[in-house]
Structure 1
């Protein structure tokens, strides 16, 4: 299932800090500016974070809240309307509700925080007034921008400061010692974390759970009474109730964890006895101190380990969520009712849309509400939505957009084949723009092998066992629809793309046309043109880019209607869609132009649907009437061009539609008119009439009457015969051709 594979992709990518995948609790957002503030809360400057082209760069910030028309502030970053209280379009229009929401959120999180970064931020928010924006030289650029904060004289942003990680799952505590434990649970040493004056270190830890005299242990840290089971004032007085509570909490949360850090901590708690404190030289200092854990041989603390952090987050989520079995992980636990939104799908709401959503009673069953009908744990929901948002970002080059369809793709492991997958979708031209010579060489070799039907060899350095995944998404109001889901091995994918390129292969009229066209290039050529006046450019010269005058709405409509069908046919190895063939004929009739892409599509369809198939170049032995009439039409057009040169309305522009459907009504008149063109050219080029008559006789050999109507298949062969003969007429003559 695609949710499971997306979650696995997320898990794999988060293991690599350089992957660009946001870690737990973060999202990648386009940030424009950083407000540089002093410790007194004054605004010292505005740091421009955009690139040389004025484009904002994506940065990891605390996860964005979900809002459509609601007022909800983000933590430590947001738009100008929330941070500065100014509407995103007008610097004179205040936005008091949004600013108040931003102010209230950060006062709630930081009022009790002693950190200087938090105090500086609260001082700035209390001191700032919307009218102050007018004094800033960057006021116009700030409107509608996303902002973060930075303390004067420091390089890190405020949301990157450990002490500022004051989310609902995280708190700040003064930690004095770290218990260094081995994997077998034995206590190896006690590390003093205090400074030279004996002051404890302020650290970011899982949020404290108890208030006043409640018996509630903290996760992965606590006082000596809970961790070691001794009273905070007397090292000989045990505290069994607090120790049992600490042990029970960690046994409940960690007993099923497949992680050596969790096993080591549980082993320590099972082995530890309060009287063992007497043998420690630090026993007096440990009393009434806050303690954390560290695994021997590692630098980080246990509460900083990602696997243990995820367990703690899932436990917090479960306190407010119903229980059930997650469809993604298969584990029993909390179920998230409302999933995070997904951004980047064209046509969906700008604030984001949900892949799983139950908004009407008719969608629900068995008394379950909202997403309980498709139970997914909070951790898995955050994982698959973060992965989708990552894939939908253009800079990662793992998305192809065809009209309103967004096609994302990935593999089951980190490998070079993942970048090759994008090259197969985007074509060789897009790969050349990356300026990656190694990738370009590999793509060229791969495409050549596929087009020739040659199997991938060891020299290609391709792992054909890699599994790939392709997911197609389409907008549907506040939700997303799944248009396509394909998974298979990379080797099978190459075979299917090889079939596509072999069927598509046709003689190119000139060197500027791509040998391996991408899906976008083909679909663009099928889009209706914006201009009504027909282009009179020769079919062998610049007709291969007929899509330049295509209307954007028509392009979107064509991509949506045909893109998904064509991609599905390629990936699943199915027959090419009939609509593709019909669309190519319709564009030829409308634009009066047989382009390289349209001829290639016609040839691909004929190869796929007929036993005879079609050839790449001119076939003089072909006896199909449609093909022969197409050749004849190209010869008659050449006669007109030789006699009259460029004209306002060529033979092709006036008659190609009628000649390809009702030949008996058109060709007698065309042959009669051609006699005048031949006579004129023969006066200037002696022997022209003989060569022309010989060629016409060769084409019409055995054809005594013109058919009244051509079938849809024969219409395609007519266009293919025209294209082949047209190319042959304009090719350079060899010495043997000149003698004949």
Structure 2
């Protein structure tokens, strides 16, 4: 199914002219050797281009479509046709101070030049084309030992010897672009195919079976030269006498197609997401880019400043989903039933691992993302640009801020992504990891008396969002809302609200206090509340008496919140079942309710800005998530 979907994707790309034909590949080319009719080297063109990368300008090779570059291996790697490095085309190599190393490099360069010469003689000999004769003449007359003295190489010799691909240029055109030479190359690769024929598992047609599959590049953690999605590199993988690719017959045509499509998707940084150790690519059969943008923005969050979308605009687009109507986005009308594919792959020792592969209608995936966003929506501090955190912010919330590796657990990243897209239960490990981080961390707002620009809080909006979504989906807590729900009578939720209120009272009575009850007692209060709530009650009564005294002495120049706090405390305490008392312990689900009650009560306290004469609000400015 994966290879079939990728092969179909290649066909779409090829029809639009976005992918090369079989036997060709996109490669970065740095220099062009301009040849005369007799094969003499006239000049060298520098094809490298300046490109902006943030605030920097970098020089990169020009991307060109050239004859295929299969993987090179062994002590005597084969040359490439019409596009290769200066070592193969000119027989030169970087200089070495060590005479022994310099001699070895010189011999290797001569050997590789000979390999390139033999290849081009084999493929171009007998062709009645001026460009072909010029290339043949070049190889026949070129002398690598005199390359450094050649006038055309004088300026760029060190850079060419250091690396970079070269192509040939003849009479104003690149040699590989001449129709007769391109046809000769395509005929040659067809003739070179193995004689073994079979029914392709991807296309269902009979054809030449690929012995080796293409290298896939761009997967973080995998080999830079590329890794295989399909390979049989051990004898134990063989069956019924078959070797390598014959164990799972895929035609050369299909092998090339899926490799080209997957490599193109991995190069598209606007629509490729990295989640932990997994790289996620996604594509649609129709209106591909608009569909990719929509899924990317709704689930992963925009990673491209040129493609931003507000929460309101995204919610407006989601309105059509409930009706199953086409979605108008980026001047394109995207059908609800548009087939959509999502593939997650990660590096492994010998090959790539498929973490997940999902296929379905784009509208269904967006429905699932919409349901997830509604569960994850929660009141956020003003500085946060979202009410429903994107996936990367969720996963970041599971990682310690002091960890050297900021990536989330690999299995957690993949299972969370799959759960969202399939509208399945969230992984229990996601919830457990958030509780672990909350209990393990402390608030850090200043260092040596200096307030931090980026303070860290143990209970953030993203962590509260995870808890809320998990409880709603996995524990069927449908009473939870984006904002504080004052009608919830669950004891753990009410205890969290009470703890937040006690902290607010303490802050109002002691505005300059460095450590609050949250710093000292939160972890115990959220797991074994009976141990600390009697102590907290005594502290709260002390703080209320202080507020009352300040009110009588008129020492508070702003509105005194004593009456409001005292009223709220009575109401909340009245919501607890007096016959059961304070629970001795709270299980994992109840701990989540406690944390959520605390977070939402804290946000509500600073969200309501009612007139002072109503006696409804504290005036202490909130600095927390």
Structure 1 residues 83 and 375, CA gap change in structure 2 (3 angstroms) = same
8 Å Cα contact 1:471/1:482 also seen in 2: yes
CA contact under 8 A between 1:117 and 1:151: conserved in structure 2?
A: no
2:25 corresponds to which residue? 27
Pairs within 5 Å for 1:406-485: 406-415=279-288, 416-427=290-301, 429-430=302-303, 433-435=305-307, 440=309, 445-450=313-318, 454-458=322-326, 460=328, 461-485=333-357
Q: Choose from 101, 106, 118 the match for 1:108.
A: 118
SS in 2 for 1:635: helix
Q: Deviations over 1:106-137 (max 9, x none)?
A: 31243436536515753796346686799966
State whether structure 2 residue 380 is matched by structure 1 residue 508. Answer: yes
**Structure 2 equivalent of residue 606 of structure 1:** 471
2:582 is the counterpart of 1:714: no
Instruction: Flag the 1:137–1:702 CA change in 2: closer, same or farther, 3 A.
Output: same
CA distance in 2, matches of 1:333, 1:152: 36
1:516 CA displacement: 4.1
CA RMSD of aligned residues (A): 3.3
The aligned residue for residue 523 of structure 2 is 657
1:283-312 CA distances to partner (integer Å, 9 max, x unpaired)?
xxxxxxxxxxxxxxxxxxxxxxxxxxxxxx
Whole-Å separation in 2 of the counterparts to 1:133 and 1:726: 76
Correspondence for 2:176: 159
Give the Cα–Cα distance (whole angstroms) in 2 for the partners of residues 717 and 640 of structure 1: 23
Three-state SS of the structure 2 residue aligned to 1:348 is coil
- 1:523 equivalent in alignment to 2:395: yes
**Distance in 1 separating the partners of 2:313 and 2:584:** 47
SS at match of 2:334: coil
CA contact (8 A) 1:66 1:341 kept: yes
| Partner Cα distance (2:327, 2:228) in 1 | 44
Cα distance change, pair 474–120 in 1 and its aligned pair in 2 (3 A): same
Task: Using the TM superposition, give the Cα deviation of residue 458 of structure 1 relative to its aligned residue in structure 2, in angstroms.
Answer: 4.8
* Corresponding residue number in structure 2 for 1:299: none
Quote how far apart the aligned CAs of 1:484 are.
Answer: 0.7
- Which among 67, 77, 80 is matched to residue 62 of structure 1? 67
Q: 2:541 aligned with 1:669, yes or no?
A: no
Structure 1 residues 109 and 325: alpha-carbon distance in aligned structure 2, compared to 1, 3 A threshold: same
Aligned residues: 564
- CA offsets 1:14-73 (integer angstroms, 9 cap, x no match): 1112x2x23221222344x22454532255453433424215254322222213565333
Shift of 1:144: 5.5
Change (3 A) 1:152 1:10: closer
Q: Counterparts of 1:87 and 1:720 in 2: how far apart (Å)?
A: 65
Report SS of the residue matched to 1:392: helix
Structure 1 pair 121–161 and aligned structure 2 pair: CA distance change class (3 A): farther
Shift of 1:455: 3.4
Q: How does 1:169-318 map to 2 (within 5 A)?
A: 169-170=185-186, 206=187, 316=191, 318=193
Match of residue 615, structure 1, among 478, 481, 489: 481
Compute the displacement of 1:612 (Å).
Answer: 3.3
1:575 deviates by 0.9
Deviations 1:393-418 (A, max 9, x none): 134x3322112212221122344324
Distance in 2 separating the partners of 1:650 and 1:670 = 11
Q: SS in structure 1 opposite 2:306?
A: coil
Question: For the residues of structure 2 that align with 1:97 and 1:524, how far apart are their CA atoms?
Answer: 52
589, 607, 629: which one aligns with 2:495: 629
Alignment deviations for residues 497-533 of structure 1 (CA, whole Å, 9 cap, x no partner):
1111111111222153323432112111221212xxx
Cα distance in 1 for partners of 2:91, 2:501 equals 72
Instruction: Tell me if structure 2 keeps the 8 A contact 1:451–1:501.
Output: no
2:433 counterpart residue number: 583
Structure 2 residue corresponding to 1:402, chosen from 275, 284, 288: 275
Of structures 1 and 2, the one scoring higher in RCO (CA 8 A, sep 6+) is: 2
Question: Alpha carbons of 1:394 and 1:449: their partners in 2 closer, same or farther (altered >3 Å)?
Answer: closer
| Equivalent in the alignment of 2:2 | 2
The 3-state SS of whatever aligns with 1:408 is strand
What residue is the counterpart of 1:731 in the other structure?
A: 607
* TM-score normalised by length of structure 2: 0.81
Query: CA offsets, 1:691-724, max 9 Å, x none?
Result: 2222222222153432111111111011111111
**Could you list the runs of 5+ residues in structure 1 that have no partner in the other structure?**
171-205, 208-312, 531-549
Q: Match for 1:572 among 413, 422, 430? A: 422
Instruction: Write out per-residue CA displacement over residues 645-670 of structure 1, whole angstroms, 9 at most, x where no aligned residue.
Output: 35544433333222211112222223
* 1:85/1:572 CA distance change after superposition, 3 Å: farther
Q: What CA distance in whole angstroms lies between the structure 1 residues aligned with 2:609 and 2:141?
A: 80
Task: Show the counterpart of 1:295.
Answer: none
Instruction: Tell me if structure 2 keeps the 8 A contact 1:41–1:127.
Output: no
Structure 1 counterpart SS, 2:569: helix
Q: Is the contact between residue 399 and residue 409 of structure 1 (CA under 8 Å) also seen in structure 2?
A: yes
Give SS of 2:227's match: coil
CA–CA separation in structure 2 for the residues paired with 1:133 and 1:476: 47
User: Cα distance 1:587–1:668, how it changes in 2: closer, same or farther (>3 A)?
Assistant: same
Say if 1:67 and 1:351, in contact at 8 Å, map to a contact too: no
- Deviations along 1:74-129, one digit per CA (max 9) or x if unpaired, are 33334566556676897987534653454234312434365365157537963466
- Once residues 351 and 737 of structure 1 are traced to their aligned partners in structure 2, the CA distance between those partners, rounded to angstroms, is 71
Tell me which moved more, 717-726 or 95-104: 95-104
Evaluate the alpha carbon distance shift between residue 148 and residue 680 of structure 1 in structure 2; reply closer, same or farther with a 3 A threshold. Answer: farther
Residue range with higher mean Cα deviation, 560-569 or 95-104: 95-104
Structure 1 residues 79 and 594: alpha-carbon distance in aligned structure 2, compared to 1, 3 A threshold: farther
Counterpart for residue 310 of structure 1:
none
CA deviation string 1:169-226 (max 9, x = no partner): 45xxxxxxxxxxxxxxxxxxxxxxxxxxxxxxxxxxx45xxxxxxxxxxxxxxxxxxx
Look up the match of 2:82.
76
Q: Deviations over 1:240-263 (max 9, x none)?
A: xxxxxxxxxxxxxxxxxxxxxxxx
Give the equivalent residue in structure 1 for 2:445: none
2:64 is paired with a residue whose SS is strand
Tell me the distance in 1 between the aligned counterparts of 2:16 and 2:283: 16
The answer to whether structure 1 residue 389 and structure 2 residue 263 are counterparts is: yes
Write the distance in 1 (CA, Å) between the matches of 2:180 and 2:249: 35
TM-score normalised per structure 1: 0.69
The 3-state SS of whatever aligns with 2:340 is strand
Structure 1 CA distance for aligned equivalents of residues 97 and 592 of structure 2: 60
SS of the counterpart of 2:530? helix
- Asked if 1 retains the 8 angstrom alpha-carbon contact of 2:377 and 2:482, the reply is yes
With over 3 angstroms needed to count, the CA separation of the structure-2 counterparts of 1:322 and 1:97, relative to structure 1, is: farther
Q: Displacement, 1:141?
A: 5.9
Deviating more after overlay: 629-638 vs 46-55: 46-55
Shift of residue 375 of structure 1? Answer: 0.4
Q: Deviations over 1:375-430 (max 9, x none)?
A: 011111111111111111134x3322112212221122344324323333432x33
CA contact (8 A) 2:326 2:336 kept: no
Task: Specify which of 494, 504, 508 is matched with residue 642 of structure 1.
Answer: 508
Aligned residue number for residue 366 of structure 1: 240
For structure 1, which segment, 725-734 or 74-83, has the greater mean C-alpha deviation from structure 2 after superposition?
Answer: 74-83
